[in-house]
Chain A
Amino acid sequence: MLTNMTTTFISRLRANDEAAWFELWETFGPVIRIQLSRWGRGRIGVETVRDLSQETLAALSNSIERYDPARGARFSTWLLAIAKHVLGDEIDRRMALKRGGGKANAQFDETWMKADATQGVDEIYETSIFCAKVEAAIRMVERETDFTDFTIYRMRVLDNQPGKEVALAIGVSEPTISRRLAKVRSVLRSRLSEVIATYSFTKEELAEAERNGLSLNPNSDSSGEAGPADKSADVMFDDAIADIYHRQMQLRAEDEQSLLG
């Protein structure tokens, strides 16, 4: 089951749209790097990890032609299978196992296309992929919204500063802060829905946001005013966003460390 957004995105990748590839690389590059570092610990160095993470996307460009959405694999499994294939190929190359002659290059294993829970996808990796999606949505919101509005959201939610302090720093009233927060939150919900729809291949992946406390469609009363239920949903949404943002920061810090060797 693919959404229109996913198929559009895949079409762009298939058409070799460089901007789409860059988007994919920007969003999931660090996750792949970290995963490759974990797998190849002690066997491959920093430079190789960088090369392999790029090769992963190159391999993806070849495999995308053979991708069969009807077989029900998750997006995360898709990326992981390609990264694993690239790493396995590299290890084979290093081991020089061809002695005895004529061993062909590693063949791409396409069993991952089946919806199977035993494909070696661990929780850390799944969390990383989900965090990367949320980060992509935050980045989109940063591009779209007014700088001051986004900074208010950043200070209040991501940096967890009290509303009064934020109001004092920016020179506006507290109700204005609340209004601007709501504005950014609304855009963020919308972008998050888009990003999750784009990078999800299964229904289960689509429901990932709700499972992580990100309510994308909060209830609202007929007047359009936020009711108590909405407020609590907003608070939960903000908390979840802040939590994911900080987890993603941690992940980036690990990536940074691995890049520094």
Chain B
Amino acid sequence: MVSISTIFGIIAAVLLGAVLLAAVIFLFSKIFGFTFVVLRNIFRFIGEEVTDTLRFVGAVLASILFAPLVIFSIIIGRWSASKHYAGAFIAELRSAGRCVYRVAIGNVARLFGVSKALEGVEQRVPEMMAAAPTRDKPSKRVGMFEGYTIVGSLKGGGSGGKLYIAEPDEIKQAVFAKRKLGKVEQVVIKVFSLKDGSSLPQIVRESRALDAARSLGLVLEHQMAPERFYYVMRYVPGEPLSVITHRMHALSPAEGLDVAHMQSLMGYAEDLLIALDTYHNAELWHKDVKPDNIIIDGQGESAKAHLVDFGLITPMRSAMTLTTHGTEYFRDPELVRQALRGVKVHQIDGSKFDVYAAGAVLFSMIEDSFPAHGGLSQITKRCPEALRWIVRRSMAEYDRRYPSAAAMLADLRVVIEAQDPFTIKPIDLPSVSQGDVAAAQRVESQHASIYDEPVSFAASPVPPRVGAPNRANAGARGARVTRPKAHVTGWWSGKYAVVGGMPRKPQRPVPQNKAQVQNASANVRVQPPRSLRDINDRKPAGDQVREARKRAHKMRNRASNRIKTNRRVRKDYTNTPGAGVVFAGIFGLAVLFGGAVLGGALLLPVFTDSGSYASATQAPDAPKAPMHNNDSSHVSVTANSQSHDHNQQVSYENIHNVDAEMLFIPMLSQPIAPELYAEIEIGLAELQSKGVDLTGGLSSSTDQSSELAIELTAELQNAIGSLPLDSPEFPMKTQKWLESQSIDGVLIFANKPGSTNEHVALMIMDNFHTKTPISERTVHDLLLVLKGNGYGH
């Protein structure tokens, strides 16, 4: 029998065992938990080290790609492009430096994935190449701009106009100063030329907006000539918002922007909304708000966003029919619907479409992508709930979105001014808690104090606010001029009052009694009568002219001196090669040299094995690769007889049975020189002797072939219209026409565009086309090309 003490002993032992076991488990869990944390941190550290190393490799690879582009741009004389690529090269080096720094100090940024290694090559290189400026000087066909010196160029936008950076001369500067536009050191000239591919409707559209933009000082000057149109804007240096956004996202964690970058971007959105509010109050609608049209000037806290490109700016009271122009994803689909219905501009509130675009821009800042889903686009990146609300509200249905940019700005400012934007809820926004009108008034009252002060019109396209009305008590749309409406006040008497319309000029109070009349007359400053000069005191006309000239000369000198003294030392844009270009150039040369040495080393065994590279590829009977197809737009066959070697001569003579039926069209200016005539006749006979079936010839006759040729030529002309021979569309349209014909191609002999002495042969077949100058080698070249493309043996 077991005693009670034994039972208690067993129970105590079991309890003790359980406690010990629990303690051991607890201890183990703590130890293993700690070990787990340590291991996790080590693996994270290793992961980040690997990522940063790969990023470093990517940046170096991108630098290696940029350096030869600098050299290439210098060789072809594109200074601005070389500077552009050099800037990108330096940016890559900076990026590489940051990676080295992170690797060296072991930072704990939460980055994953090896794809980062190719970021520079896959994203930044194509972006920079796409954004490269065009040539620095306009083509001769366009001509120069009087009063401006072209110093560089910018990448053109979707409108097709060309953009040049220029410096106005002293006279232009004096004109701008007289118009109180402030200092204008550098300008952007946007030019549309019919000869450069712009269309007349495009020119008319762009020019229509300019009077409105000029009234705000956004456009400094514009000129319409018979074949071109250009306008001049102030130059705003900086980078487009799309580039800045992309860069900020690259520097932030994958789940979204960090707070500092978020604050910066919201600051840019605030600048944008202030600009839009100003335009809307001036009854203008920008119509093309998108990240590429927002330029960020400066860095850090002094950075400011500027809205540029006034090509589509539209007066809100315009009687024109609404058009669908704008940029997809930043243009409200409702605008397209209204335009398709044929609505007039003044029948809708254009400012609401700008508000939609501002919301889309804000979306693109948060997501680093465009709102492909319109108002339903989902925000997947981390962002304050209130900001999400602002984006949704601004991109909501036309009647439900913010009534004005001011109301949106009021909401945005609450988020910007918060210590932690993530703590702000939609209910904290003025438009939610107080309503849209109160929100707009809040902004108006903030602006009112600014309006009273003279605002300097520095390098900002936002117009000065001097003279703008105090709209503190004017409601959401403030002093916006509306269409006048008549309201009947007395139905019996027919009395009515006019509401809205143009604001009336302040009227003087009408004096009510004699005392008031006396007071009023006492306040009038009486001007002393101007004394008349005695006619005999006048100097002779010659002396007067001399004195007037002296005065004019003196004034001109004074203006010139004033401009010189006021000129700023720093210029916003310069295309002189900087240290970046020099450094990138040297590095690029080294890369090219290294590549050549490496390539030579790799190819040397190939040359050695095959004996001779030339003899291996130029064998007389070897089939030639197609010289040209539809994928490339143009090819020229060199027809210099000196450059042809013996192998090609053999190839030509070996060509037989060319099975091609072609229409021959002579488009040479008359009269044709006898030598050329004879040369062409011989050439055509030679082509026919090789089997080419030609329809038509140089001389007109009444045989069946000539009649058919005339008929086919007329059909072709009808199909392609009046396209010039050197147009890239000419071969394409001809090939399309050929699809419905039984012949294989067209052979055209014509004068070289712009020349009477030089001639070219253009051969367009159904699957390729080629152009060659007319010479004694033309037929040989054409036969070689035909053979190379499968015609003949």
Contact = CB atoms under 8 A, between A and B. Distances in A.
B425 A169 contact: yes
B433 interface: yes
A15 interface: no
A142 B432 contact: no
Contact of B378 (A19, A102, A249): A249
Interface stretch (B291-299, B390-398, B562-570, B640-648): B390-398
A71 interface: no
Contacts of A184: none
A72 to B, nearest CB: 33
Contacts of A102: 740-742
Interface in A177-198: none
Given A168-B425, A256-B369, A135 B739 contact: no
Contact of A253 (B372, B739, B766, B767): B372
A211 interface: no
Interface stretch (A59-67, A93-101, A108-116): A93-101
Contacts of A252: 372-373
Contact of A142 (B372, B397, B766): B397
Contact of B376 (A19, A96, A98, A142): A142
A26 interface: yes
B341 A19 contact: yes
Contacts of A158: 378
Contact of B744 (A19, A99, A245): A99
A138 B376 contact: yes
A181 to B, nearest CB: 17
A138 B377 CA distance: 12
B739 A151 contact: no
B560 to A, nearest CB: 52
Contacts of A243: none
B427 interface: yes
Contacts of B336: 22
Nearest to A30: B372
A18 B340 contact: yes
Contact of B340 (A22, A159, A168, A255): A22
Interface in B623-666: 630
Nearest to B736: A93
Contacts of B742: 101-102
A14 interface: no
B389 interface: yes
Interface string A153-171: 0100011000000001111
Contacts of B375: 139, 142
Contacts of B389: 151
B247 interface: no
Interface in B342-382: 369-370, 372-376, 378
Nearest to A104: B740
A208 interface: no
B424 to A, nearest CB: 10
User: Could you say which of A18, A102, A169, A249 has the most chain B C-beta atoms within 10 Å of its C-beta?
Assistant: A169
Interface of B: 333, 336-337, 340-341, 369-370, 372-376, 378, 385, 389, 392-393, 396-397, 400-401, 425-427, 432-433, 630, 735-736, 738-744, 766-767
Given A98-B738, A105-B740, A147-B401, 14 more contacts: A18-B340, A22-B336, A98-B766, A99-B744, A102-B741, A147-B392, A147-B397, A158-B378, A169-B385, A169-B425, A171-B427, A171-B432, A171-B433, A256-B372
22 contacts: A22-B337, A93-B736, A98-B739, A98-B766, A101-B741, A101-B743, A102-B742, A104-B740, A105-B739, A139-B374, A142-B396, A147-B393, A154-B392, A170-B425, A171-B425, A171-B427, A245-B378, A248-B373, A253-B372, A255-B372, A256-B369, A256-B372
